[in-house]
A = this chain, B = another copy of it.
Amino acid sequence: MKIYTKKGDQGMTQLIGKNVKKTHARVEAYGTVDELNSFVGLTSVLLQEEKHEDLVMDLTKIQHELFDLGGDLANVTDKHKWTLSNKAVEFLEAKIDHYWDEAPPIRTFILPGGGKASANLHVCRTVARRAERLVVNIQEASDELPPAAIKYLNRLSDYFFAAARAVNARNGTEDVLYERGKDVFK
């Protein structure tokens, strides 16, 4: 069979268990998780070039988890188990603490950037937050959400923030502080 099935040419598509419009809140959400996954794949290549092997391993784990999440979001059948678990959230929290300690403390916002991998981690951070907003949007349609979904994406964006700062610290690149910023990190 060909990968193009032409089934979606009238604007409809399939969830696991239901046919819906391509603008359905769930399709918007897992489509954006897929977009995030692509930026993570790109960032992984750049981290490999800069030899941050531990982060490359994290990102591969995260890419699998984004598929777990996407599958959970696509699934509207009655009896099914969630694939993404709270363990993935706890793993991220441990990693955030770890990378956070590698970078010098900050009180103000910092400009996203520094090096190629680090800048791409900030892109991942903000696309993760876009995905998070679209998952919250499913919730507003008063539809059942995978229990770990919001938590996972929220922590994931903090993970990318901590990781971006650790990469800059390792490369000897100082984060530029937002010059008109008040103290926001407590």
Contact = CB atoms under 8 A, between A and B. Distances in A.
User: Main SS of chain A's interface residues?
Assistant: helix
A18 interface: no
The number of times this chain is found in the oligomer is 3
A28 interface: yes
B3 A123 contact: no
Interface residues of A, number: 73
A9 B111 CA distance: 25
B60 A115 contact: no
A150 B21 CA distance: 12
6 contacts: A22-B136, A28-B133, A31-B133, A35-B129, A37-B111, A40-B113
A151 B1 CA distance: 18
Interface string A151-179: 10011001001100000000000001011
Given A21-B136, A35-B126, A126-B34, A158 B4 contact: yes
A10 interface: yes
B125 A180 contact: no
A52 interface: no
Given A133-B31, A178-B64, A11 B119 contact: no
A112 interface: yes
Nearest to A21: B136
Contacts of A34: 112, 126, 129
